[in-house]
A and B are shown apart, each in its own frame.
Chain A
Amino acid sequence: MPASHVFVILRREYRVRLRTRAFWISTFGFPLLALLIVTLPVLLLTRSTTSHRLVVVDTTGHVAPLLLERLAEREREGRRGARFEITLAAAEPDAAAQHDALDARVLGQQIDAWLRIDSEGLAHNRVEYRSDNVSNLLTQQLLEVELSGAVRRARLQEAGYDETAVDPLVRSVRLESVRVSAQGSRVQGGQAQFFLAYALAFLLYAVLAIYGAQVMNGVLEEKNSHVVELVLSTVRPLDLMAGKLIGIGLVGLTQLAIWIGLLLLVIGPLGAGALGGRLPNVELPVLDAGLALHFFALFVVGYFLYASFYAAIGAASSNLQEAQQLAFVAVFVLLASFMLFLPVVNDPDSTLSVTASLIPLFSPLVMMLRISVKTPPAWQIALSYALALGFVAFMVWTCARIYRIGILMHGKRPTLRELWRWARTP
């Protein structure tokens, strides 16, 4: 039983691409790389036990011992982070000479840094940290926290307060974000959800750009190798384009499905158990079925929108260089919608967010972002899909007409006017 042309073509596209090493390397290599990029620095930093040789010159005489006390407490509790090897130095009468001598010891690598705590600086809440490396932000942050604690303790003692009584009174509070949704409420870290939205938007952006380019390259290959002439002797151009778009789109869906599966493994119960313990203070986001469904649906909408454009570009160009110049338009629009990430995530109901999520060129990415941070009103989701689908139909129709004529054209690049004429040719 002969299969339809569209099916035969899409099966070829799908199989040929799935059989390439590049597909499997990118499918598993990309998440692995992303995982490493996210977790490795954190793991390495939190496990770092570098001993930081620090000289403390304390002219007040009572902050440094408190600092030592706090750092010792830290050590006893086994908390992770940098360790300090502190030497207390008495303030010398010639402050400038001591300053120079300690700087020289830093430069001579005898110590890593030195601090000068004096009442003048403390009056302005300042302590000078001098080192030949000031980019060790985590070490400085830790020192800053402990030093602040020590200074606070010293000030309370000086003012005659009982520190143990005051301490609980001045603790900071933490905002615990609870996401309220139709499915129920749950405690959810804002940061975690922010990163999930970012990851999904980036994935969508990447696959739309990558698979759009694959369509364009595929069309160009067919055109330049002249195999298209052989295929078109039995297949209508529209069937060829449809088969190609669907086949490559299915490859993209397969890759996305694997990625989402892996993401669920990492942030799901299995991964959370394995990773949660190892990454202190790392809260994992929640990817629910509804969001995953929207993600795939918006990929399909966005893919047909951009891929049909890429197909027309491939058909209208004679070589890769020409095609890439035209493809810049698509990349620019995609990038523009990705740039809307921060304003949309921060305020998903703003006029900007709502408008952008209704404009078909932006809606796949922007609507996905909106849904991932806060479910928008149903009518907005429906309108966004409807407008995008209508625009997809228009794009596919127009691009198919350009494709039909361009695929057999060789030589000079068509002008915009010529492309418009092709699109209007019945």
Chain B
Amino acid sequence: MPPGLELRDLTKSYDGFRAVDRLSLAVASGSVFGLLGPNGAGKTTTLRMILNIVAPDAGQVLLHGHPLRPEDGARIGYLPEERGLYKRMSVFDHLVFLGELRGLGRREARRRVGPWLERLDLARRARSRVEELSKGMQQKVQLAAALLHEPELLILDEPFTGLDPLNQSLFMDLLLEYRRDGRTILFSTHVLEQAEKLCDDIGLIRDGQSILIGALEDLKRRFASRRYRLVAQGDVARLDAVDAVERWRKTDDAVELVLRPQVPGPALLRELVDFLEVVEFRPQEATLEEIFVDAVRDAG
């Protein structure tokens, strides 16, 4: 079965600056893919190319194995990073308008808006003008707009930015529910905590290039193998002199250390016991943040 979404060698330059550089990735149907990267990495440009808002200079976007066509816009839901709505329209009219643009008939769009407003606790504000809503509420209206036409693919650009914890959790629940229905989600974020809770796969990009792509669990294991927790008595400062240790830092009750690539843990332990009284020495599971930092650093 072809992936729900596939990017092949996607490239885009602006005035000689290469924003996205031969980026390839595949998002399996029914999975959540997190596109991670520092500011200016090319995430938004990538999403805009998937949505046909900007045309790629080279490369292809495939939806279920077929090149993207203009009418595919109706199969995609989008929550842009820059939250913009028509300020003087009522919430209800705005959602109907966006629903119609995404291929719903007017009557059908009107029918669907009500339940979504209930779900997002906005029913009482249906007739309010958008400008009368708080930013968080406007963001909820946008999420409703992205989901109203029940798209196969949902694209979210920094969906959690600016949300209070309560709404973050509401967004999270909705997205998980959406994935359970077998739909595909691609989202960009730099809030790694949420990505960790939501993603099946992640892709790290920097300077428009992919530096790491894979299943989150695999990546955690791969990066975990170099990360150890050490509880020991003795002069831990002598770790500086140990070649196998790439870096280390002291925490409250332990030392976290990262091995150089290709150094097995037991080999280091044999060295450590020469000058420390080791109480505990065990591999750690990396957080996404650690993977992110490591991958960015490794990429130079």
B41 at the interface (CB under 8 A from A): no
Q: By CB atoms of chain B within 10 A, which of A5, A228, A230 has the most?
A: A230
Chain B residues lying within 8 Å of A2, measured Cβ to Cβ, are: 100, 103-105
Chain A residues lying within 8 Å of B145, measured Cβ to Cβ, are: 230
Partner of B82, one of A5, A20, A226, A234: A226
From known contacts A1-B105, A8-B100, infer whether A225 and B87 are also in contact, taking CB-CB under 8 Å.
yes
In the bound complex, how far is the Cα of B112 from the Cα of A395, in angstroms? 40
CB distance from A412 to the nearest CB of B (A): 11
CB distance from B78 to the nearest CB of A (A): 4
In the bound complex, how far is the Cα of B80 from the Cα of A9, in angstroms? 20
The count of chain A contact residues (Cβ–Cβ below 8 Å) is 24
The A interface, classified by DSSP as helix, strand, loop or mixed, is: helix
CB distance from A178 to the nearest CB of B (A): 53
C-beta contact mask, B263-279 vs A, less than 8 Å → 1, else 0? 00000000000000000
Additional pairs, 9, CB under 8 Å, beyond known A2-B105, A234-B102: A2-B100, A16-B89, A222-B84, A222-B86, A229-B84, A230-B84, A233-B52, A233-B80, A408-B53
CB distance from B49 to the nearest CB of A (A): 11
C-beta contact mask, B59-99 vs A, less than 8 Å → 1, else 0? 00000000000100110101010111111110000000110
In the bound complex, how far is the Cα of B52 from the Cα of A8, in angstroms? 20
Q: Is the CB of A226 within 8 A of B100?
A: no
**What residues make up the interface of B, taking CB atoms closer than 8 Å to A?**
48, 51-54, 70, 73-74, 76, 78, 80, 82-89, 97-98, 100-106, 142, 145
Partner of A235, one of B54, B73, B83: B73
Partner of A233, one of B76, B86, B103: B76
A155 at the interface (CB under 8 A from B): no
Q: Is the CB of B86 within 8 A of A227?
A: yes
In the bound complex, how far is the Cα of B94 from the Cα of A231, in angstroms? 11
Q: Is the CB of A227 within 8 A of B85?
A: yes
The B interface, classified by DSSP as helix, strand, loop or mixed, is: loop
Q: List which A212-241 residues lie within 8 A (CB) of chain B.
A: 221-222, 225-236
A3 at the interface (CB under 8 A from B): yes
Chain B residues lying within 8 Å of A221, measured Cβ to Cβ, are: 86-87
Q: Is the CB of B73 within 8 A of A234?
A: yes
C-beta contact mask, A3-14 vs B, less than 8 Å → 1, else 0? 101001100100
Question: Closest chain A residue to B97 by CB distance?
Answer: A12
In the bound complex, how far is the Cα of B87 from the Cα of A145, in angstroms? 63
Chain A residues lying within 8 Å of B142, measured Cβ to Cβ, are: 230
Chain B residues lying within 8 Å of A226, measured Cβ to Cβ, are: 80, 82-84
Q: Is the CB of B100 within 8 A of A16?
A: no
Partner of B101, one of A20, A235, A408: A235
Q: By CB atoms of chain B within 10 A, which of A2, A3, A8, A235 has the most?
A: A2
Would you list 24 pairs from A and B whose C-beta atoms are within 8 A, ordered by A residue?
A: A2-B104, A3-B105, A3-B106, A8-B100, A9-B101, A16-B86, A20-B88, A221-B86, A221-B87, A222-B86, A225-B84, A225-B86, A225-B87, A226-B83, A229-B84, A230-B84, A230-B85, A230-B145, A231-B101, A232-B53, A233-B51, A233-B76, A234-B101, A408-B48
In the bound complex, how far is the Cα of B51 from the Cα of A229, in angstroms? 10
Question: Closest chain B residue to A230 by CB distance?
Answer: B80
Chain A residues lying within 8 Å of B76, measured Cβ to Cβ, are: 233-234
CB distance from B98 to the nearest CB of A (A): 7
Q: List which A125-162 residues lie within 8 A (CB) of chain B.
A: none
Question: Closest chain A residue to B50 by CB distance?
Answer: A233
Q: By CB atoms of chain A within 10 A, which of B85, B86, B104, B142 has the most?
A: B86
Partner of B88, one of A8, A16, A234: A16
Q: Is the CB of A8 within 8 A of B97?
A: yes
Question: Closest chain A residue to B86 by CB distance?
Answer: A227
